[in-house]
Amino acid sequence: KSSPKRFIIGVSTSLSYLARYSAGVPFTSLHCARILVRMMHAPTQKQSMLGQGGLSRGRVAQCTRKSIRRSCQVRAGKTSTGPRVAIVGVTGAVGMEFLQILKQRDFPYSSMKMLASARSAGKKVDFDGETYTVEELTENSFGDCDLALFSAGGSATKKFAPAASDAGCTVVDNSSAFRMTDGVPLVVPEINVEAMKDIKLGKGGIIANPNCSTIIALTAVTPIHKAVGVKRMVVSTYQAASGAGQAAMEELELQTREALDGKPITTNIFPRQYAFNLFSHNSDVDVDLGYNEEEMKLVKETAKIWNTKDVKVTGTCVRVPVMRAHAESINLELNAPLTVDEARKLLENAAGVSVIDNRKENDFPTPLVASYNDDVYVGRIRRDISRDDDCGIDLFVCGDQIRKGAALNAVQIAEALL
């Protein structure tokens, strides 16, 4: 009842969940609740796109044209000429998202193999109208594969990705296992696709997906970096449960029910209550530096992706009780002056970025808006008033951690290999 536009947004979200169901992705009561939340609270097109600092009506059409123009999808679906594809870790949250995105983007394939741990072997997975039996991941799984999308965790990847590469299967890996390894490209396709130019599909090789918070931050910041250069970047992240996997998402849902019902809180995934709480990111902390692993990933991966050690990066990473989309507050110190209008124009024309920056209506990116969408959303674009010049910009960024922060980025890498 809130408005026809909100209803349309809700219906579009419903369709995205139906796509998940058709791809074999679990569809629970929580998903139904999310649809209703999106229908009630999603901003109208006017709120999102118009107003002071927002997009014009002409810009809406321009966004559509830009999306078509920048697409690198190769639409085919199952075809005898497509690569032989393996999904490693298929039963996890990112593995399920791989399947949904491959189907949505009609990624060409001639055969599909579902791989997971011995614990998941034998499970059934539906994809593209067929039912597959999950096979146990072994070092001999890849002799009949050209491409493997990995989301199996660092230790499993270190064991099995080299075996896949040696068998002539090209690996796109979502873990941290090889991100900082010399000779392994660390790629965000909108930023540095040229880094993988020497790897050919079906000829082996490993390409690493950056960490989710790095992908989301750099997709937004790189257009500014290319224009005037970033001297220093300060990032504070607000990271969703999805970054810790499907089990963490389920525990957040369970804890929320328990807290509302006054029951004891289940803490199997994190050592403390997650629902109605936030805490420093759960990765290990360097006792000397005081930084956790998630923060150091942001520092090190930025240097590798941008191919420079001249940019200073610091971060504070926090886990917040949001289901699947990360948010980040980013402060940039620039090498040259840049006005807010110039920054906004760069972002509006950037691949993979959508601007929601309506100051008049106080409408900016939120995790709910970003969830189940491909773009990184940017708003709160403003001059850093702690400076006396125009060499400082503040941004607020949201991106779906499972899609652009993981599975989508990997599939875009695979599309570039085609």
DSSP state of 201: T
DSSP string across 314-362:
EEEEEE-S-SSEEEEEEEEEESS---HHHHHHHHHTSTTEEE--BTTTT
CA distance 256 to 259: 5
Q: Does the annotation mark 169 as catalytic? A: no
Q: Which residue among 63, 145, 169, 212 is the active-site one?
A: 212
Structure-block tokens of residue 235: 């990032």
Catalytic-labelled residue, pool 31, 326, 391, 398: 326
The 3-state DSSP class for residue 384 equals coil
User: Does residue 207 contact residue 185 with C-beta atoms inside 8 Å?
Assistant: yes
Nearest to 398 by CA among 149, 228, 219, 233: 219
Q: Which burial class, exposed, middle or buried, applies to 30 when counting CB atoms under 10 A from its CB (0-12, 13-18, 19+)?
A: middle
Residues 304 and 165: their CA atoms lie apart, in Å, by 22
Q: In what order do the strands lie in the sheet with 111-116?
A: 135-136, 111-116, 84-88, 147-150, 170-173, 206-208
Tokens of 179: 């991100």
The distance of Cα 262 from the centroid of its chain, to the nearest Å, equals 34
Distance of alpha carbon 251 from alpha carbon 270, whole angstroms: 9
Token digits of residue 147: 């491409």
Which tokens hold the place of 298?
């942001």
Q: 337: exposed, middle or buried (C-beta count within 10 Å: 0-12, 13-18, 19+)?
A: exposed
Q: Say whether 212 is catalytic.
A: yes
Q: What is the three-state SS of 152-173?
A: CCHHHHHHHHHHHHHCCCEEEE
Nearest to 410 by CA among 161, 50, 234, 235: 161
Q: In Å, how far are 71, 96, 158, 381, 418 from 207, measured between CA atoms? A: 21, 20, 13, 33, 14
CA separation (Å) from 322 to 229, 254, 319?
32, 13, 8
> Hey, which residues are catalytic here?
212, 326
